[in-house]
Structure 1
Amino acid sequence: MYATFIRFFTGKLVQLALLGCFFCTLNAQAQNGQLGALRGTLTDSLTGRPLDNVSVQLLGRPEGASTDALGTFRISRLAAGTYTVRASALGYRSRTAVVNLAAGETQTLNFAVAATALQLAEVNVAQPRDLNQSVAAISDIDRQLRPVNSAQDLLRLVPGLFIAQHAGGGKAEQIFLRGFDVDHGTDFAVTLDGIPVNMVSHAHGQGYADFHFVIPETVEQLRVYKGPYTARFGDFATAGAGEFTTKTSLGQSQAKLELGRFDTRRALLMVDLTGKDGRVFSRNRRESAYVATEYNFSNSYFESAQDFRRFNGLAKYTGQLSERATLALSGSHFTSSWDASGQIPERAVQEGLITRFGSLDNTEGGNTDRTNANAILTVDLPNNAVLTQQVYYSRYHFNLYSNFTFFLEDSVQGDQIRQNEARHLAGYRGTYERDIALGSRTLRSTLGVGTRADDVNLALRRSLRRQVTDTLVSGRVQQQSLFAWLDETLPITERFTVNAALRVDYFRFRFREDRNDSLSGRASKPRVSPKLNLYYQLTPAVQLFARSGFGFHSNDARSVVAGAAKSLPRAIGYELGSNFKPTAALVVNAALWALHLQDELVYVGDAGIVESAGPTRRFGADLGIRYQLTPALFADVDLNYNYGRAVGEPDGEDYIPLAPRFTSIGGLTVKRPSGLSASLRYRHIDTRPANEDNSVQARGYFLLDAVASYTQPRYQVGFSIENLLNVDWNEAQFDTESRLRQERDAVSELHYTPGTPFFLKVNGSIFF
């Protein structure tokens, strides 16, 4: 059946692609003879570094483009005439040029733009090329304003996203977004340079997204997508998705050292391999390359030393193979090990058995590593088309010891478990983008195809002080997905644009249990996800949007083949909102949204079981404000309200555990031309239900953080402070049934990991 479907699916896809290309070719032959184009590059005037994702617009016209990884752009299908071209990037001085274009002519423009003080007056809320990135303007500002000191801070750049760590510094964070306790990534898709971060059928939980293999200083860009409205995202992209992109080049090398409380140390080295002539291997091609490494160590603030160690390494090359072809190659390696104090029950602290920073089982912890290889080939084809092809591979290991219930199951040896896996992950994605003239309008069409294959050996075992005592589940998961999408964007008028898309996914699940054939099996499931998004540019300063779409998240293969759970529960989302600028210095993003899940399935990796919460619904409102008070002083705030309930449950018993109701992040930032930068920031999440009847609550908190730095061409010094007021707060929190060694009966109550106390870290960098 699977082979038959694949043949049918592939055949139809090829037929559609050939048919589309046939009509596009006819159209091109009829019109291209009299149409010209503008192409060129944008670079930093000081360093010569190419600038990625810079907006290039034709003033007074809807046409425009964005630069690629090597800073190149192309605007096609232009009739003969005079055009004013404007290149603008946040933090850079805008450049304009007037071009007289003859019929069928292609002209080249090369802009070298100078860095300048950040000005929100330069922010454009008009429709970007990537329409569904609703917070594009907000995200661009945040990359300039919000300090990033760790991989965790990268995730916090997503407006409204909160994270919580609960098993030492080496485990993926718990994520909260749009009324979701996303666990470790079940409903939020994360990619880095197109490589998926989320793991399917993971030993610790579905969608597990460990982002610690990223060196924060290498990240150039973040694109944020909320809701299931974008066709190129499939699995896990229900609450949203985040696309992180590493830098194409460095401009200059950097050596950095950080020292902090609790024996915290970090060393960073980034070396630009590009020669003075801007080349690496060839003098005839534009190229860039660099390597980056970091090492982290900390004993953390717990009474038992954490002995956390992490190493990251990255090498990246980008080069032009020809005038029309660009190749990006990258490889990275990450390894981490740590000890953990685990989550503790409130009663253990109240009864004086341990302190807030103590432990009932200090042999928790683990180790993990990940190696990635990535290649992206982009070809600028004739007839105004771009073909992008990507192949990637990851080798991943994970080993975690946890003890959440202490002596509930085993009153003698305790309930510690070991979860481990070894994974091969490989994938391909290809996209064909083309601008097609339809009368006086241009249809932007994107066809994408791809596949992802995971081969995982994983196990869940009982252990005592990290010594395995019994095996609960052990076997091999083989999971593959094939997908295709068609995305069409058409400006009906110069103000009104329609984006319609259709995505098709097909999943194949297979699990073979090592000892029990009754747990083994196979399953397959298709999923079709349509999208429809509308955009209206009311004025140059006001954009309105209405978005809708179907999405899904997959379930763990072990549960799917056993028939214990739905394989691909559907999500339906929709929202209304606006990006607007009431004044030149004020940028606002606002949205009212809703999201319905067919079945909120949660794989509990700690117990090796699936829990079904049934259908759920969520409603909410997001408000993001960025305001430039003076030339050097900026304010930002995100306010997020969420209301979520289980469908069909009695009133008072329909709460969604740990779903946040109100969150807010904001701060004041000073950026002076002299090189001084400082920021005072807050984080707030309210008290929320920890179980279905709200009898146990996860406690909210309000934290203040501070960051300051002084930067000159050859050096930088700075410091950061977490929890400036040194308040006691709970980070990860759960309603858990547990039993202590001396107790006869189990108790269900709040278990938590204490949050970071006052934490000071200083840093110094040398640029060369």
Structure 2
Amino acid sequence: MISDWLKIGFKSFFGMILMFSSFTGFGHELRGKIYDSYQNPVAGVGVYNKTTEAFTYSGINGYFEFDSISVNDVLYFYSLGFRTTSRTVAEEDLDSSVAIVLEEAPVSLEQIVLISKLDAFSRMVRIDTEQNPVRSSQEVLRRVPGLLIGQHAGGGKAEQLFLRGFDLDHGTDISISVDDMPVNMVSHAHGQGYADLHFLIPETLDKLDFEKGPYKAEYGNFATAGNVSIKTKKKIDQNRITLEAGDFNTLRMVGLMKILETTNTQAYVASEGVLTDGYFTSPQNFNRLNLMGNFHFSKEGESLRLAASHFQSRWDASGQIPQRAVDQGIIGRFGSIDDTEGGMTSRTNLWMNHYKSIDDHQSVKTSAYVTAYDFELYSNFTFFLEDPVNGDQIRQKEDRLILGAKTVYSKKIHTTEDDSHAELDLGTGFRYDKVSDVELSRTRNRTETLENLALGQIDEFNGFAFANLEYRLGKWTINPALRADYFSFQYENELTDTYDLQRKAKLFLAPKLNILHTFSPDLQAYAKTGFGFHSNDTRVVIANRGEKVLPLAFGSDLGINWKPDSRLAINAGVWGLWMQQEFVYVGDAGIVEPSGRTRRVGADLGIRYELNDKLYMYGDINYTYARFTGAATGEDFIPLAPDLTSAGGFTYVGFKNVEASLQYRYIKDRPANEGNSIVAEGYFVTDLNLNYTYKNLSLGLVIENLFDTEWNETQFATVSRLRNEQEAVDEIHFTPGTPFFIRGRLSFTF
């Protein structure tokens, strides 16, 4: 049945592409370009004809056009960060190209108009970041509504992620990218989809976009629960030096410096250093260094960006501790059973983004990247379960080289016959991972290798192509899309006596269809549906002889974006997501393994409200019903899948140069095993930020866990045995969350 549906969808989709590509007559009754005060083109500006209720958006080169327009029609121009501008169409406008200059203004909900765009909610959420800038790399992902994170390895390992009833581990079902460079690691030594975002310097963050569900053709592997696209700054307005110091011997230093600034060219460097002992009994000895250089050149119709970064980190960790050890007084909440855990990692990136406008209706975007990465992690999840003498410490290690590129051709299509508009995107690209000496070994005290459990070489290639059509007719936007992914998995086992190289290949086709109806500039309804996938680890693919290589996901969303008032924005929706295969954490081996089919249904509600020019409030609440399908009732819970989460806060700006923000995050108790006999405790944690600015000097205070709540940041149901125990015990193992943690910040701009 699904195959029949796919065939019909493919025929209809390509039929629409051919139909719209055949139109060559354009009715340019009003056309123009939109610029900022520096004469730079502004993309994504909403242009709304209040007289006829027609609408459009400016392209990357700032170009827009209207058909069937009349003298005295009133046009409104909306864009975040710019003052809303209106223009009454004059007779001379119809015979020439007009230039619209937008004036910069503080970001406000009033600047959002709900016309034709499928990512309206993502645009609303950008205001959260503008009103309350991100202070750490961990905060970046928390800005996605419904996405919660947890750290459980001394701050150096990628965070554990939760979204839409998923325990995403470190990124198995969420695609994360920075400037079109993927963050997720395929066939990673520690976990499939591993996404370590610590190479991002938070002060360089420019924009964060997201999509929940598998609905965007541009994103393939891991984009099932959703995707997060991060853009860094192309240029900086001011030089900045920041120093932070706080509890637990914490020190952070940041620098952003311009090194070149002309009319068409800008360049800057950014650096970050972090040191801390952490709040555990055994010091973490944590250190992290980030360096980034950025060069940007732009002229009319073309831009080029070159950037490079280097990240390295080293740390010790106290690991996840069993609840019984705390209850019996063997250790305290911040103690450890094995404090020799920890690791080291580094990532070096070089990436390029190029845009070229062929003419007012056609453009090409190209991105390319190369990444050198290494990783070494020591963990002990089960203590003395497997080896009562030496303990169960393991090492996971790899060295990796990644190469990739993507090109997208865009064409705007206008027809004068029915005043319809369409935009066609055709993209293609590849990603190649060369993973050397990917290892899982038993070790002792991080110095002695006791046994190699797995050791090999991985070559994984992903080639892809996609077509995306956005067709606008009146108040309707119809968005059919198709993506094709080809994977080649190759693994050489280095533990066999003879040469052992195996290879599997797989093709995946993912049709998608999104429909949007704009009732007015203040109300839109949407329906989204589509297929997606996550790839399995190469070693799993080879071991299973190519079975379940690319587990399928099917999702659907139905919801509204509504602005009942110019200062109030609401997103509400219901959704469902069905997965062909789930990943479940296996604590005693420090790995994840595939499990059965799952279904999730849920509801999301997000509210953003500006009480006045100084006070901004937001909140999101997300509910999910998540179960394995085919399992016995009562044994079908998905371990660690959250069913109720919420996050929100408020920001106050303006009183005597003082800024204040209070933020909370909440997660309800959730099952830790399939039978729900072991429960992972929920939490409610509040953070506070205060900032005072005087001229070019800024003083800040950051308090994490303001009310000193006792909470567990990450939790797992794990079978373990302590040194003097005769029998193994299956219970909650946890990493305690941050206690009251205060640090001060001094920032100087020039």
**Aligned-partner Cα distance in 2 for 1:269–1:623:** 38
Q: How does 1:483-562 map to 2 (within 5 A)?
A: 483-492=464-473, 494-516=474-496, 520-562=501-543
Shift of 1:382: 2.6
- 1:65 corresponds to 2:57: yes
The within-5 A match list for 1:348-427 is 348-382=325-359, 384-427=361-404
Which residue does the alignment assign to 2:632? Answer: 650
Could you tell me which amino acid in structure 2 is paired with residue 422 of structure 1? Answer: D
Question: How many Å apart are 1:59 and its aligned residue?
Answer: 3.0
Give the Cα–Cα distance (whole angstroms) in 2 for the partners of residues 561 and 446 of structure 1: 35
Q: How has the CA–CA distance of structure 1 residues 186 and 161 changed in structure 2, closer, same or farther, with 3 Å as cutoff?
A: same
- Residues 334 and 736, structure 2, Cα contact 8 Å, conserved in 1: yes
Please name the residue that 2:223 is paired with: 237
Letter in 2 for 1:585: R
Question: 3-state DSSP class of the match of 1:136?
Answer: helix
Distance 2:695 2:100 in 1: 25
Tell me the SS of whatever aligns to 2:540: helix
- Residues 169-208 of structure 1 correspond to what in structure 2 (within 5 A)? 169-208=155-194
Please state how far the C-alpha of 1:184 moved relative to its aligned partner: 0.3
Q: Does 1:39 align with 2:28?
A: no
CA deviation after TM superposition for structure 1 residue 520, in Å: 4.3
Cα distance in 1 for residues equivalent to 2:214 and 2:566: 31
Q: How far apart, CA to CA, are the structure 2 residues paired with 1:556 and 1:200?
A: 7
Give the secondary structure class of the aligned counterpart of 1:525.
Answer: strand
Contact 1:487/1:502 (<8 A) preserved: yes
State whether structure 2 residue 434 is matched by structure 1 residue 455. Answer: yes
Q: For residues 576 and 446 of structure 1, what CA distance do their matches in structure 2 show?
A: 24
Residue 20 of structure 1, CA deviation: 11
Counterpart Cα distance in 2 of 1:698 and 1:312: 34
Please tell me the residue identity of whatever aligns with 2:259: L
Percent of aligned pairs with the same amino acid: 42
Instruction: Give the corresponding residue for 2:292.
Output: 314
Is 2:55 the partner of 1:55? no
| TM-score relative to the length of structure 2 | 0.93
- For the residue of structure 2 that corresponds to 1:672, the secondary structure is strand
AA aligned to 1:398 is: F
| Letter matched to residue 654 of structure 2 | R
Whether 2:149 is the aligned partner of 1:124: answer no
Q: Distance in 2 between matches of 1:148 and 1:173?
A: 17
Q: For 2:559 and 2:509, locate their aligned partners in 1 and report how far apart those are by CA, in whole Å.
A: 26
Stretch moving more, 199-208 or 715-724: 715-724
- How far apart are the structure 2 equivalents of 1:585 and 1:504? 41
Q: Could you tell me which amino acid in structure 1 is paired with residue 170 of structure 2?
A: H
Deviation at 1:747, TM superposition (A): 0.6
Check whether the contact 2:304–2:353 (CA below 8 A) recurs between aligned residues: yes
Contact map agreement 2:479 2:515 (CA 8 A) in 1: yes
- Which of 129, 150, 156 is residue 136 of structure 2 equivalent to? 150
Map of 2:444 onto structure 1: 464
1:53–1:688: structure 2 CA closer, same or farther, 3 Å change rule?
A: farther
Tell me the amino acid that sits aligned with residue 373 of structure 1. Answer: L
Match of 2:125 in 1: 139
Give CA deviations for 1:89-137 in whole Å, capped at 9, x if unaligned: 3344223445658699663626252334x54333323332xx2x25223
Segment of structure 1 superposing worse, 218-227 or 508-517: 508-517
For residues 152 and 288 of structure 1, the distance between their equivalents in structure 2, rounded to whole angstroms, comes to 28
The 8 Å contact of residues 342 and 753 in structure 1, kept in 2 or not, is answered as: yes
- Determine if the alignment matches structure 1 residue 630 to structure 2 residue 620: no
**Alpha-carbon distance in 2 for matches of 1:682, 1:484:** 41
Q: 1:427 to 1:213 in 2, by over 3 A?
A: same
Contact 1:640–1:662 (CA under 8 A) maintained in structure 2: yes
> Judging changes above 3 Å, is the alpha-carbon distance between structure 1 residues 562 and 754 closer, same or farther for their aligned structure 2 residues?
same
State TM-score, norm by structure 1: 0.91
Which sits farther off after the overlay, 266-275 or 93-102? 93-102
- One-letter code aligned to 1:244: I
Residues 191, 591 of structure 2: 8 Å contact kept: no
Residue 154 of structure 1 aligns to a residue whose secondary structure is: helix
Q: Please report how far the alpha carbon of residue 745 of structure 1 lies from its aligned counterpart in structure 2 after TM superposition.
A: 1.0
User: Residues 624 and 638 of structure 1 are in contact (CA less than 8 Å); yes or no, is this contact kept in structure 2?
Assistant: yes
Alignment of 1:328-343 (within 5 A): 328-343=305-320
Give the CA RMSD over aligned residues: 2.5
Question: What's the CA shift for 1:637?
Answer: 0.9
Write the mapping of 1:469-484 to structure 2, written as runs, cut at 5 A.
Answer: 469-484=450-465
Distance 1:66 1:156 in 2: 30
Unpaired segments ≥5 residues, structure 2? 1-9
C-alpha distance in structure 2 between counterparts of 1:218 and 1:597, whole Å: 36
Distance 1:554 1:640, change over 3 A: same
Cα deviation digits, residues 552-588 of structure 1 (max 9, x gap): 0000001101216511000000011000012222110
Q: By how many angstroms is 1:288 displaced?
A: 2.0
CA shift, 1:27, in A, is 3.6
Q: 2:85 — aligned with what?
A: 95
In the TM superposition, what is the alpha-carbon distance from 1:152 to its structure 2 partner?
A: 0.6
Instruction: Give the superposition deviation at 1:612.
Output: 2.7
Letter in 1 for 2:354: L
Contact 2:587 2:719 in 1 (8 A): no
CA-CA distance at 1:753 after TM superposition: 0.3
What SS does the corresponding residue of 2:36 show, helix, strand or coil? strand
Aligned length: 730
SS of 2:525's equivalent? strand
Counterpart Cα distance in 2 of 1:101 and 1:409: 83
Q: Which residue matches 2:103? A: 113
